[in-house]
Amino acid sequence: MKPRNLAQTAISLAIAAPTLATAQFYGDPPDATHPWAVHDMNRPQPPVVTPAAKPGDPPSDAVVLFDGTEESFKNNWKHVRDKRKGDWIFKDGAMQCAPGAGYIRTKEEFGDCQLHIEWAAPTKVQGNSQGRGNSGVFFLDGATEIQVLDNYDNPSYADGMAGSVYGVMPPAANPLRAPGEWQTYDIIFRRPIIKNGEIIDPGSQTVLINGVVVQDSTPIEGGGGHKKRSNPKKPFPETGPLSLQDHGNPVRFRNIWYRPLRKRATDGGTDGQLTPEATTVKRAEIAAEIRKDAATKTGINQMMRLLESLCYETNDSTVKDANAMLAKFVKSVEATPADKIESRKGETKNVFGALSYLATHKRIPADHPAIKALRQIINTNGWQDKKK
Ligand code: MG
């Protein structure tokens, strides 16, 4: 896109000139609920994650809960009840529920996550409705269940079918493969946040079965349950184990991993739109970081970084320092001999662009003396941007 005004021209030049690459006066600045500017280069880069070679396998930052080996089960899982009949069975890279062996749960406790899990109902079809290939994926120590059920050519009550938030919301589709074939679940789980009986965030579950969306940010509504309407104001723990159900059917599981999700603004996260109070705190933090970085620089680079910090937070001592540097800068450009003045064009226009941006967004007064002085230098030398 072509630059549309002086401030945008300034950033184009700043990008071209490596010495000024860190300072930016570009998109709409921080406001009452957005701590960063639009297109803000100070905003942290997302961490690099290496995806798996094969879709569905764990990416580099995943926590693997079951890799197909009995050892991985022993390290990461335990039985929920001590008194039980037998153990789950490990065979061909999968673990299989042995009816009567009871629920199993992860040793690790976690909250909001992206979960991948694969399951297969028995090839030999037995039973119907809820009695066929029934298991379940439970978050937060049983607080909510995403149903596992062999619904291939097997109707049941809709809010209890495979991919349902059990007792709350049916899946939007039934994309199951035949019994015996592997099914994938990809689940994005966000716990409800309830404080003092008030629902701050209802939480949500998004579920894909075999790549097909069947739950799309479905509110958790208390987690669901068997026969009973659940209580949406029931407090939820922040973290808890993941558990898998023994519903009396030999359902197999494999390739189980999760990734924690970034925190929501309602949960102390600072990546998105924030409350005015949290925004003020975050803007002060960003400004402090930029001023710390400015202290490692010299000359015009230091000045530009200090000016940039004013986009986030105004501070008397920074304004004073920046003004002193600006006065020195203006003086040095004014003192440049005519045969050398062209060499000052780029930086002069950069500083003028930055000041124009700051004035437009009311970070400095529109009649700031440096704006007036630099405008005069630009006009005298015919450096104005051509009208588009
Ligand atoms: Mg179940």
- Helix ranges (DSSP H) in the chain: 6-16, 70-76, 276-294, 299-309, 316-334, 345-360, 369-380
In a domain? residue 261: yes
Q: How far is the CA of 87 from the centre of ligand 1 (A)?
A: 19
Structure confidence at residue 2 (pLDDT): 41
88 and 202 inside one domain: yes
**Separation of CA 245 and ligand 1 centre (Å):** 6
Residue 325: is its pLDDT beyond 80?
A: yes
What's the rounded Cα separation, in Å, for the pair 248 and 151? 16
pLDDT attached to residue 232: 72
Question: Count of domains in the chain?
Answer: 2
Indicate if 175 and 324 belong to the same structural domain.
no
pLDDT tens profile 265-314? 999 999 989 999 999 999 999 999 999 999 999 999 999 999 999 999 99
How far apart are the CA of 274 and the centre of ligand 1, in A?
38
Query: Does residue 177 sit in the same domain as residue 250?
Result: yes
CB 79 within 8 A of CB 275: no
Assigned token pair, 307:
């000016």
Residues 298 and 256 in one domain: no
Q: Which strand (E) or helix (H) includes residue 209?
A: strand 204-209
Spatial distance between the Cα atoms of 303 and 275, rounded to a whole number of angstroms: 31
Query: Ligand 1 centre from 147 Cα, in Å?
Result: 5
Per-residue pLDDT tens digits for 126-150 = 999 999 999 999 999 988 999 999 9
* Position 51 in a domain: no
Same domain, 25 and 70: no
User: From the CA of 130, how far away is ligand 1's center (Å)?
Assistant: 8
Confidence check: pLDDT of 169 > 90: yes
Residues 174 and 214 in one domain: yes
Query: Are residues 310 and 220 part of one domain?
Result: no
Residue 102 lies in a domain: yes
Residues 305, 216 share a domain = no
Q: Judge whether residue 172 has pLDDT over 60.
A: yes
Q: Does residue 254 fall inside a structural domain?
A: yes
For residue 326, being part of any structural domain is answered with: yes
pTM of the model: 0.88
Confidence (pLDDT) at 388: 65
Q: How confident is the model over 189-204, as a mean pLDDT?
A: 91
Question: 66 C-alpha vs ligand 1 centroid, how far in Å?
Answer: 20
Among residues 266, 298, 328, the one where a domain terminates is 266
Does residue 329 belong to any structural domain of this protein?
A: yes
The answer to whether 353 and 13 are in contact (CB under 8 A) is: yes
Say whether both 99 and 225 belong to one domain: yes
- Domain containing residue 287: 6-35+274-380
Ligand 1 midpoint to CA 200 (Å): 29
pLDDT tens-digit profile of 218-260?
Answer: 998 877 778 888 777 778 899 999 999 999 999 999 999 999 9
165 exposed, middle or buried (CB, 10 Å; 0-12, 13-18, 19+)? buried
Which of 203, 234, 266 is where one domain is finished? 266
Residue 295, burial from CB neighbour count under 10 angstroms (0-12, 13-18, 19+): exposed
Q: Are 46 and 31 in contact (CB under 8 A)?
A: no
Work out the mean pLDDT of the chain and round it to a whole number: 91
CATH, residue 193: 2.60.120.560
Instruction: Please give the pLDDT value at position 11.
Output: 42
How much distance in Å is there from the Cα of 278 to the middle of ligand 1? 41
Q: How far is the CA of 161 from the centre of ligand 1 (A)?
A: 9
DSSP string, 67-132: -SSHHHHHHHEEES-SS-SS--EEETTEEE--TTS--EEESS-B-SEEEEEEEE--SS----GGGS
Pair of tokens at residue 37:
């500017």
Domain boundary among 266, 284, 318: 266
The reply to whether 209 and 351 lie within a common domain is no
For the chain, give the percent of residues with pLDDT over 70: 94
| Contact (Cβ atoms closer than 8 angstroms) between residue 29 and residue 11 | no
What SS3 class is residue 378?
A: helix
Domain-located, residue 258: yes
pLDDT at 89 over 80: yes
Residue 15 sits in the same domain as residue 74:
no
Distance (Å) from CA 249 to ligand 1 centroid: 10
Answer yes or no: are the C-beta atoms of 205 and 187 closer than 8 Å.
yes
The Å distance, Cα 248 to ligand 1 centre, comes to 10
Ligand 1 center from residue 237 Cα (angstroms): 21
Tell me the two tokens of residue 320: 């004073």
User: Residue 120 burial (CB < 10 Å; 0-12/13-18/19+)?
Assistant: buried
Residue in the structure block whose two tokens are 């022993």: 74
**Domain-embedded: residue 192:** yes
The Å distance, Cα 148 to ligand 1 centre, comes to: 6
Same domain, 261 and 281: no
62 alpha carbon – ligand 1 mean position (Å): 26
Give, as residue ranges, everything with CB less than 5 Å from ion ligand 1: 134, 136, 245, 247
